[in-house]
Amino acid sequence: MTVKHIRTGSPFEANIGYSRAVVADGWVFVAGTTGYDYATMTMPEAVEDQCRNTFDTIARALAEAGATLDDVVRVTYILPDKADWPKCWPITSTVFAKARPAATMLVADLQEEAMKIEIEVTARVPQG
């Protein structure tokens, strides 16, 4: 089996010991991703902005793997405050208008207080 590790350069990846994504046998497993702008290591305050940043990071990892957000088959959303979840719906419904992945939303504490959403996805690299 061929395995490819994709990294964003986030200090969390190095400090904790994980990859942003792992590609194995045509599957792309993207780690839980938060709303940091990794170029500046800043976190916007609004959950909507964090959600957009998260999808941007995920999209870049998927592109490096040879996939897109349209290839996502499974998504998990994790939010510390369930009241923030409906604010993300316009973003998630647009991002996944084509893919329509199986989805789960969980309420749980995240690594840092400023983090308002974490998203992980599984995608399949298109064949051919």
Please check the confidence at residue 55 and state whether its pLDDT lies above 70: yes
Token code pair at residue 48:
């909507």
d(CA 10, CA 64): 16
Domain ranges of the chain: 3-124
Token code pair at residue 27:
């599957």
H/E run at residue 65? helix 47-65
Degrees, nearest 5: CA angle 40-43-46:
140
Q: Determine contact, residues 30/76, Cβ cutoff 8 Å.
A: no
Indicate the average pLDDT of the chain. Answer: 95
* Whole-number percent of the chain with pLDDT over 90: 83
- Given this model, what pLDDT does residue 93 score? 98
Q: Considering just the CA atoms, what is the radius of gyration of the chain in Å?
A: 14
* Whole-number percent of the chain with pLDDT over 70: 99
Residue pLDDT, tens place only, 7-27:
887 788 888 888 899 999 999
Token code pair at residue 89:
């719906």
Residue pLDDT, tens place only, 85-114:
999 999 999 999 999 999 999 999 999 999
112: how many CB neighbours lie within 10 A of its CB? Answer: 11
Please check the confidence at residue 37 and state whether its pLDDT lies above 90: no
Under 8 Å CB-to-CB from 76, ≥6 apart: which residues? 32, 103, 104, 105, 106, 119, 120, 121
**3-124, which class in CATH?**
alpha beta
